[in-house]
């Protein structure tokens, strides 16, 4: 709210215009309802313009350009910790049958992948070109 004060103000004014139009419809005052609906459209448009404007100005801010708040993920460490947790759960017997099935499937997939990598490295050999 502190960074984008016009957005909540626009939302509030849009709601007020909508209530004004609803009040006019309730009491069958067509002119009031029409003014309220037109006001709602205008307020809604100004609110969207404020949102877009804040977005444009935030991306143009050079002090924060190129900086991210994300930290790098160590995927090897994450997978190792997951495997250790799986092994610990299996040792304690805290695994449901469905989870055991998923673990077995993951192990099979890892073994198949390892076999295919080994097979490719064994069977792929450079063939010398024939001499002319």
23 in Cβ contact with 32 (< 8 Å): yes
Report, in angstroms and rounded to the nearest whole number, the Rg of the chain calculated over CA atoms: 32
User: d(Cα 56, Cα 112) in Å, to the nearest integer?
Assistant: 49
Query: What is the per-residue pLDDT across 49-107, written as a single tens digit (0 to 9) for each?
Result: 999 998 888 877 655 555 667 788 888 898 889 888 878 877 887 777 887 788 788 88
User: d(Cα 4, Cα 81) in Å, to the nearest integer?
Assistant: 42
**How much is the pLDDT for 4?**
85
pTM: 0.46
Highest mean pLDDT (candidates 20-34, 66-80, 104-118): 20-34
């Amino acid at each position: 709210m502190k960074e984008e004060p016009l957005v909540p103000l626009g939302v509030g004014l849009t709601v007020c215009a909508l209530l004004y139009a609803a009040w006019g419809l309730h009491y069958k005052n067509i002119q009031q309802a029409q003014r309220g609906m037109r006001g709602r459209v205008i307020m809604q448009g100004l609110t969207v313009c404020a949102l877009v404007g804040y977005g444009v100005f935030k991306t143009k801010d050079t002090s924060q350009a190129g900086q991210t708040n994300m930290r790098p993920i160590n995927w090897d460490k994450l997978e190792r910790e997951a495997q250790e947790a799986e092994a610990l759960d299996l040792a304690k017997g805290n695994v449901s049958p469905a989870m055991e099935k998923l673990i077995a499937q993951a192990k099979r997939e890892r073994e198949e992948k390892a076999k295919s990598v080994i097979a490719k490295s064994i069977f792929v050999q450079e063939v010398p070109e024939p001499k002319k």
